[in-house]
């Protein structure tokens, strides 16, 4: 938190393969999108 640019809080869910990601329900079309969450830490 506290980044210089825009931020968002998104719902996370585990996919059928067990990977964690963001889920978007696309307005009644019967389609759903799953995008795996990637976390990068600078050391």
Predicted confidence (pLDDT) per residue in 22-43, tens digit: 776 666 655 566 666 676 666 5
Q: Averaged over 9-34, what is the pLDDT?
A: 72
Decide: 35 and 22 in contact? Cβ < 8 Å.
yes
Q: Which pLDDT value is given to residue 27?
A: 65
Short-list 6, 15, 16, CA closest to 36? 15
Cα(40)–Cα(35) distance, rounded to whole angstroms?
16
What is the structure's pLDDT at 7? 77
């Amino acid at each position: 938190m506290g980044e210089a640019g825009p931020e968002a809080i998104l719902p996370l869910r585990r996919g059928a393969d067990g990977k964690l990601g963001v889920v978007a329900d696309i307005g009644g079309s019967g389609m759903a999108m799953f995008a795996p969450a990637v976390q990068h830490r600078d050391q």
